[in-house]
Amino acid sequence: MSKILRVNMTDQKVKSEDVPEKYRLIGGRGLTSAITCDEVPPTCHPLGPNNKITFAPGIVTGSGAPTAGRLSVGCKSPLTGGIKEANSGGIASDKLARLGIKAIIVEGQPKDKGKFWVLKVNKDGAELMPAEAGWLGNGLYEAYPKMLKKFGEKVGIISIGVAGEMLMSMAGICVNDPENRPSRYAGRGGVGAVMGSKGLKAIIVDETGGSSVSLADSEAFNTGRKKLTDALRQHDITKPGGTLNTYGTAALVNVINEAGAFPTRNFSSGRFEGASKISGETINETCKKRGGVGATGHRGCTGCIIQCSNVYPKEDGTELVSCQEYESVWSLGANCGIDSLDVTGELVRLCNDYGLDTIEAGATIGVAMEAGLAKFGDGKKAIELMHEIGKGTPLGHILGGGAALTADTFGIVRCPTVKRQSMPAYEPRAIKGIGVTYATSTMGADHTSGYTIAPEILGVSGKMDPASKGVEKAEASRNFQYATAFIDSSGHCLFIAFAILDIPSGLEGMVEECNGVLGTNWTVDDVGRIGGDIVKMERAFNEAAGFTNVDDRIPEFMKYEMLPPHNVVYDVPDEVLDKVHNP
Amino acid sequence: MSKILRVNMTDQKVKSEDVPEKYRLIGGRGLTSAITCDEVPPTCHPLGPNNKITFAPGIVTGSGAPTAGRLSVGCKSPLTGGIKEANSGGIASDKLARLGIKAIIVEGQPKDKGKFWVLKVNKDGAELMPAEAGWLGNGLYEAYPKMLKKFGEKVGIISIGVAGEMLMSMAGICVNDPENRPSRYAGRGGVGAVMGSKGLKAIIVDETGGSSVSLADSEAFNTGRKKLTDALRQHDITKPGGTLNTYGTAALVNVINEAGAFPTRNFSSGRFEGASKISGETINETCKKRGGVGATGHRGCTGCIIQCSNVYPKEDGTELVSCQEYESVWSLGANCGIDSLDVTGELVRLCNDYGLDTIEAGATIGVAMEAGLAKFGDGKKAIELMHEIGKGTPLGHILGGGAALTADTFGIVRCPTVKRQSMPAYEPRAIKGIGVTYATSTMGADHTSGYTIAPEILGVSGKMDPASKGVEKAEASRNFQYATAFIDSSGHCLFIAFAILDIPSGLEGMVEECNGVLGTNWTVDDVGRIGGDIVKMERAFNEAAGFTNVDDRIPEFMKYEMLPPHNVVYDVPDEVLDKVHNP
């Protein structure tokens, strides 16, 4: 039977608890958010003893469902001051699920500051042990092999880097990929700092002796699994040899740049003259040209049939980094005026090594360039700034605190954040609906929480004019936010959304998989209801933490600074924004 | 006739406007807060083009009323994100009033960042001129003589230091004292950064040809003036040779330390073993012992009959600094574990030189010491940290951003701020009522906005148990907040409060002075009503800026960390805090 592990860092005790009835039919984000809401005082200090951090596989993780290996991480965010759920691919979540672990709740705080532990989880239970010196203070490319040597090559590792050890608000939590790189991240909102504040360096998951998640209705599951698999294999974006498999997420670079919505040089333009040099097409060509280990269509996560990852090679064909995502080549590229994949690759590698959210990192370097700490386009200096973070210098602590902290420190007004979390790679002035999501998400600026880009740009689930600013944008954002909360709870990667939005049987398949695991009788109509309940619960947490609709706004500068090339401002009325959560 | 000057920094135009009827019967804080509420969008960026900063003398400033030379400065605060009023002594406010200037509103923003202007005001009007190179980038001890050389020895100077030029959130606005030192400050809330964001280095006030403020009812005024003067000269705290005149504000050091409420080493204790070494008594003795220019009972502000200032001498009798206030010797002394007046004097001098709020500066160094940047008690290192601010290094920008920013940057949980403004020198765990004021003030943690220390410690206006935590504390704080808003509007120094609270004719006198200037028929019963209206207006601004009652709280750590020596936590119920503004 599945269980919840409760890890108390104050006295280093680990307890195994039965899963309460109210948590039985939920997983992933639905579960981590529920535990945060139930157990964390909304006004507590995010790095203090009263915050908790929860890790959970999704409902169908570990069941053999396709592309369903997400690990959800939930807590109160030191970046936003509100609730936070970030989720990661990699290999650890599947292993947790196969050990029958529904969630791990980490609470309390050790008395000794600066001391770190590792939680070892296997079929016999879990125990805390002191982190060894060699695992701390170094990059994860150095620490991971050492941990693997200690615990075996087949364990899942859920770990913070030095940024998390130093409590920086842009610290993420890293999960190893199938080839044991430190490359997959629950990146956003400073979840790594919360893990660091608990004195927890890593969770090691050894699934030896574990087994596939038990099914309440294997027929429903198998039917659903087949429907979803077929849909994923059929949709142009997710099919083998399709867009994601061939070009990776960076396939978006040229598309969004063409739309004039590719934030450039700290959100001062929507078009980057160097976009084609950092595009998915160029990644693909470079992998082919340089050969060696270079590859697109790489699998970064257990059980993934989309395989959107890549291994980007150096000139000599050896590995520079895996992987160069759309968000990363944008944030560390265009947003810093940098048009070299070799530079963005090095910057991504450093983010992976130090344990940083690449979106927040690039947005922050953009703000730092605005503040005069480097010139836009100066890749060498951008790399130096990243090393400041790793070294934990005062400047590194500023940058490690994220874009909003950096802007506050240097008095920069052009700060592209909502709820103090930096915006991803879509300019809300040019694509209004994604701005509605940025403004109203419970997570701060976040594209994944309500990806209206699908209809506004990609023609997925219908078409919407990106420039329209009426109540239809509030409705679209709400629908996406609710559906996303369900997908994030199921354990599937959000990239199944393209297929399930366009192919009705795919959506049915996702729901039937859940029914198969849980024994429920959900229909596709339940997706919005269940997802909506999760979003409302998260929002109630934020309200209790002091958020109001004033926090559901795009930064003021976007309302008076015109964005080239289309010379647009953000002009979605506040009333439309308020309609998202008050229909 | 009095007028309002409107200075537009976008096009460098200055206009003189008639005073609207609605502003006729108000001045000082009442006026600056009203203009902020009427003209500043509550959600604007504090350092952006839509914030405005307003300067105003009080109602009776320039009339010859005693101790009434305060200058009110109002804007949206870059430190708190809410409304801000800070006021200063010195000599400039009286001159503005004598030129018939009811307020100066500075709005817009120059296109050229980093370029600075000076506003020259005299009887013929006002004009902007470029700041000369020698006035910028240097300490004010160097810049003030240069400005005086240019504009004459008798002008009032209202200026920012380098901290304001660099847009730091602990930057104050400095006013020269009667001997032209850069020593009196509208210190709190980052008003200096807002002035800096306007590209305005200084306002130079030449009162040549000005005249005393005209009186609507000179009999009422003279009666009131005599009553207030007599009360001030009669009360033990404010009379000649009384507490403030003899020992200065630092007379409180031993009193508050004895009460176990003297925040020590970043609010980790309420008692400092070195308190007596930095007390008002020791300042007085040192001035006598070292001789030379050393003096207590010094006059820092035009028309003051209390004269609480001091000139603190070096060992050789030459001047180190004027003046060593209670708040400054606490923040830069006990709160950093420093027990030397020579060190606190040097630190105060640097605050005056760079243009910093001494309270925020000391609280920030305390947090920095907590973060390991220096050891508590290390005065040499504290001085070095202060120089980092002046030099504008990355570390200096962190510190210059204040205690909350410093805590965020280094992941420090023990951060003694409310609404991101640092607490002054009274521990709320030991004196509950002042905590109610810290929590609920419209200004962030601020003793001057509702000084319940009077009844809780000093026995002024009756006696209250400092440990009580009932609704009587909400009522006391509310009454003090309302009365203070009136006093801050009148133009009097808040130190008249002791006399007017204990001596009924003193209170009558203050009101009658106002009636004399304005032609009103206010009675003492109007004080709370008028002050209350100001506080409610400020609170409405904060609500529109996104504040809720969650922001009206003492930091979480004070609720679970026991404060020595009395081992108390902050346990005033939230319901009591909420009663302050919702009786």
Predicted pLDDT of residue B547: 98
Query: Which runs of E-coded beta strand occur in A314-461?
Result: 319-321, 417-418, 421-422
Chain B nearest C-alpha distance from A279 (Å): 34
Which residue among B193, B395, B551 places its CB closest to the CB of A411?
B193
The pLDDT of residue B113 is: 84
- Which residues on adjacent β-strands are paired with residue A71? A57, A88
Per-residue pLDDT, A112: 85
Structure token pair of residue B545: 């800026």
Omega of the bond leading into B415 within 30 degrees of 0 (cis): no
- Which residues from B are below 8 Å from A196, CB to CB? 411
Cα–Cα distance, A562 to B525 (Å, whole number): 52
A151-164 burial string, b = 16+ CB within 10 Å, else e? Answer: beeebbbbbbbbbb
User: Which of A198, A413, A569 to probe the B interface (max B CBs under 10 A)?
Assistant: A413
| Nearest Cα residue to A170 out of A438, A410, A399, A444 | A399
Q: Give the residue range(s) of CATH 3.60.9.10 domains in chain B.
A: 3-205
Instruction: Give B348-380 pLDDT, tens digit per residue.
Output: 999 999 999 999 999 999 999 999 999 999 999
Residues of chain B positioned with their CB less than 8 A from the CB of A555: 45
The dotted CATH code for A245-427 is 1.10.569.10
Q: H/E element holding A156?
A: strand A156-159
| pLDDT tens digits for range B232-261 | 999 999 999 999 999 999 999 999 999 999
pLDDT at position A394 is 98
- Residue entry with tokens 């409902």: A59
Return residue ranges of chain A for CATH 1.10.569.10.
245-427
In the beta sheet, which residues pair with residue B104?
Answer: B5, B55
- Report pLDDT digits (tens) over B188-232: 999 999 999 999 999 999 999 999 999 999 999 999 999 999 999
| pTM: predicted TM-score of the whole model, two decimal places | 0.98
**pLDDT for the residue numbered B114:** 87
Residue B459 predicted with pLDDT over 80: yes
CA distance B288 to B246: 12
**What residue of A is the nearest CA neighbor of B165?**
A411
> Looking at residue A245, what DSSP letter applies?
H
Q: Give which of A397, A543, A554 to mutate to test B binding, by max B Cβ within 10 Å.
A: A397
Interface of A with B (CB under 8 A): 43-45, 47-50, 78, 166-169, 193, 196-197, 393-395, 397-398, 401, 405, 408-411, 413, 544-548, 550-551, 553, 555-557, 560
User: Chain A contacts of B405, Cβ < 8 Å?
Assistant: 405, 408-409
Q: Using an 8 Å Cβ cutoff, are A156 and A92 in contact?
A: yes
A557 to chain B nearest CA, in Å? 8
Architecture of domain A3-205: 4-Layer Sandwich (3.60)
Q: Between A393, A408, A548, which is nearest B546 by CB?
A: A548
Burial of A25 (0-12, 13-18, 19+ CB in 10 A): middle
Q: Where are the strands (E) in B402-476, listed by range?
A: 417-418, 421-422
With a cut of 80, say whether residue B485 has pLDDT above it. yes
Option in B43, B48, B557 nearest A45 (CB):
B557
* DSSP annotation string for A47-75: TSTT--EEEEE-SSTTTT-TT---EEEEE
Mean pLDDT of chain B: 98
For residue A506 the two structure tokens come to 């795919």
Q: What is the distance between the alpha carbons of residues B194 and B190, in angstroms, rounded to a whole number?
A: 7
Tell me the pLDDT tens digit for each residue of B72-122: 999 999 999 999 999 999 999 999 999 999 999 999 999 888 899 999 999
- What fold, for B216-237+452-583? 1.10.599
In the predicted model, residues of chain A with pLDDT beneath 50 are: none
Q: What three-state secondary structure class fits A237?
A: coil
Contact of B109 with B49, CB cutoff 8 Å: yes
CA angle A548, A553, A554 (to 5 degrees): 160
User: Residue A33 CA to chain centroid, in angstroms?
Assistant: 15
pLDDT of residue A67: 98
- Is the pLDDT assigned to residue B1 strictly greater than 80? no
- Predicted pLDDT of residue A28: 98
Three-state DSSP at A341 gives helix
State the span(s) of chain B assigned CATH 1.10.569.10.
246-427
Nearest Cα of chain A lies from the Cα of B227 at a distance, in angstroms, of: 47
Query: Which 3 state secondary structure label does DSSP give A482?
Result: helix
Test mutation, B47, B398, B412, B554, chain A, max A CBs within 10 A: B398
What is residue B540's three-state secondary structure? helix
Closest by CA to B517, choosing from B28, B180, B11, B71, is B28
- Where along chain A do the CATH 1.10.599.10 domains lie? 215-237+429-583
Interface probe for B, chosen from A166, A268, A550, A558 (most Cβ of B below 10 Å), is A550
CATH-assigned architecture of domain B246-427: Orthogonal Bundle (1.10)
Predicted local confidence at residue B148, as pLDDT = 98
B553 with B582: CB under 8 angstroms? Answer: no
Please report which residue ranges of B235-376 form alpha helices under DSSP H: 243-247, 252-258, 280-290, 326-331, 341-354, 358-370
**CATH domain A215-237+429-583 topology:** 1.10.599
Give me the residue from B47, B405, B550 closest to A43, CB to CB: B550
